[in-house]
Amino acid sequence: MRGTAVTRLAMAECTEAETAAITGHSLHDVGAILDAHCLKRDTKLAQSAIRKLETRTNVQLNVQLTASRPEVVYLSN
């Protein structure tokens, strides 16, 4: 039953660490269960991972751009 939970949590886009915290499995066991069910090659999960990577990359890029912009200060008389 916990193996089914691992599978369902993966399909709900939970990370392996989140899944292990819920089910009580080790990260190794979660990975083994997902490997056995071919979920690591699941298209939906792959697309979700790419979206997360793109979002993180965009956030980091925005922070870098914001930090590198000189601040304009207007002085009044």
- Residue 38 Ramachandran class (φ > 0 left, ψ -120 to 50 alpha, else beta): left
Lowest-confidence segment of 25-29, 31-35, 54-58 by average pLDDT: 54-58
Q: What is the mean pLDDT of the chain?
A: 81
| Tokens representing residue 25 in the block | 């499995």
**Domain boundaries along the sequence of the chain:** 2-68
Model-level pTM greater than 0.85? no
